Amino acid sequence: MAVEVIMPQMGESIFEGTITKWLKKPGDAIERDEPLFEISTDKVDAEIPSPAAGVLKEIRVEEGKTVPIQTVVALIESPGAQAAAAKPAATRAPEAAAKPAAPARVQAPPPQPAQKPAERPAPAPPPIPSPERPAREAEASEEETETLASDGRRIRTSPLVRRLARENKIDLGSIRGTGAGGRISKKDVLDAISAGQRPGAPPSQPAAPSEAPAAEVAPVHTVLETALPRERIYFGRYEVQPMSVMRQRIAEHMVLSKRVSPHVYSIDEADMTRIAHVRQAARAEFEQKHQIKLTFMPFFVRACADALRDFPMVNASVEGTNVVVHGEINIGIAVALDWGLIVPVLKHAEEKNFLGLQRGINDLAERARAKKLKPEDVQESTFSITNPGTFGGLMGLPIINQPNVAILGIGAIQKRPVVIDDAIAIRSMVYLTLSYDHRVVDGAMAHQFMRRVKERLETWAEDVI
């Protein structure tokens, strides 16, 4: 029996996904829960396991294609599925048993309960079956509410879409939605912003096809415009390398952050000599006792969490003319990947002891590199940290990770000569840079925050074992 593999919903606010790589080809044998393909969404990249054991019969959606959730992307010929389906069929009424069997639809992850044979339509179901549509609309309603367009029409949109439209003075009634059921997606609003659309303006017309070399990947959002005409870019000898889906998302988020938040930067340096000695002395025992590596990152996370408690406006977000001051401290920690960058979130950092911080940091980094993160692992950050020093960078000026109002950049920890009590000493020093949103955070507050972080690092007294 053929088991349908469908595009899973990786979060309540996610309605589509892009298949970035098939890990099996038609004719290959596959075990249940063995990785079958990789997807990329607005939130996270992930490996999707096979919902059944058998042989990959057909691939219906090629790499690089973006499709709505619940779309059938492949078929698996699974003898076990036929046997499993036969048991409930035997207990049905005679008229139900007479209906021809349809391919079993299975979603992974999370696994969905199998429907009873009598409830399946006789022909092969379309990509989005009607029995499942109300359930998805019910889920979406938790994230979406109705808003009125300028012409009085009611439009269902997410809070993010409404915020983007409001901040950029875009009339949602003038935008044609391309999402599921005609909903207006974030991409639709970004396209309107890029086209310079304003209230009352007609919907932007699609741009003429470019003569640039095409590639079988999802198109780059038009918000990522180029600074020069294309004839000044394509010259001489060149090779066109299309952006991956993740790179497109990174580019989109960075451009949006620079447009929304007026960035200001503060730079300081901290003496890490005490912490370097503490780490060196405790490293062997810590790693033997807890079976995890002891890094510098939990020291910085602890210092930031303590400083954020003292300066809660740095632990905030902006929504229109409102400042949302968060009660919990959720620190996003940038993780460099071979194929891009992602910022998983260490939730409730203020409640964790030192061991809990190190375990959480290691767990997020490992799952990010293994493509095992869930959408909730990259959401609800209140502050972010990036560490270019890992790659030898002396310092960096990072872009704010929305919806945060600040991000800390950590440079390389290096031994340098410094003046202490009119004497030159060799100390382990690090440059710290704070990028902050001047709509909320002023220079005085930023430097006070940085001074608190510096004091916490230089006077470290917490036991790490």
* CATH at 7: 2.40.50.100
- Considering the domain architecture, whether residues 322 and 449 belong to the same structural domain is answered as yes
Please list the active-site residues.
438, 442
- Considering the domain architecture, whether residues 328 and 420 belong to the same structural domain is answered as yes
Report pLDDT for 33. Answer: 86
> Residue 358 falls within a domain, yes or no?
yes
DSSP 60: -
- Considering the domain architecture, whether residues 184 and 265 belong to the same structural domain is answered as no
- Which residue is associated with the tokens 């993160």? 373
Question: Are 266 and 447 within 8 A, CB to CB?
Answer: yes
> Residue 112 falls within a domain, yes or no?
no
Q: How many residues does the chain have?
A: 465
- Considering the domain architecture, whether residues 186 and 268 belong to the same structural domain is answered as no
- Mean pLDDT in order along the chain per 10 residues (465 residues): 85 74 92 89 79 91 88 86 45 44 51 40 43 41 52 64 76 75 75 62 44 42 71 90 85 91 96 96 95 96 97 96 96 90 94 96 93 87 95 94 96 95 96 98 97 97 91
> Residue 349 falls within a domain, yes or no?
yes
CA distance 97 to 86: 10
Question: Are 369 and 335 within 8 A, CB to CB?
Answer: yes
- Considering the domain architecture, whether residues 189 and 265 belong to the same structural domain is answered as no
Question: Are 170 and 147 within 8 A, CB to CB?
Answer: no
Number of domains in the chain: 3
Q: Which domain CATH number covers 299?
A: 3.30.559.10
Report pLDDT for 122. Answer: 42
- Considering the domain architecture, whether residues 170 and 278 belong to the same structural domain is answered as no
Question: Of the residues 60, 77, 94, which one is the last residue of a structural domain?
Answer: 77
- Considering the domain architecture, whether residues 43 and 170 belong to the same structural domain is answered as no
Report pLDDT for 97. Answer: 42
Overall pTM > 0.85: no
> Residue 35 falls within a domain, yes or no?
yes
Report pLDDT for 224. Answer: 66
Report pLDDT for 141. Answer: 39
> Residue 173 falls within a domain, yes or no?
yes
Pull the structure tokens for residue 251: 């580019």
Measured over all CA atoms, what is the biggest interatomic distance in the chain, rounded to whole angstroms? 96
> Residue 93 falls within a domain, yes or no?
no
- Considering the domain architecture, whether residues 64 and 179 belong to the same structural domain is answered as no
> Residue 101 falls within a domain, yes or no?
no
Report pLDDT for 218. Answer: 41
Q: Which domain holds residue 178?
A: 160-193
CA distance 379 to 376: 5
Report pLDDT for 165. Answer: 79
| Bridge partner list, 59 | 74
Report pLDDT for 78. Answer: 80
- Considering the domain architecture, whether residues 301 and 419 belong to the same structural domain is answered as yes
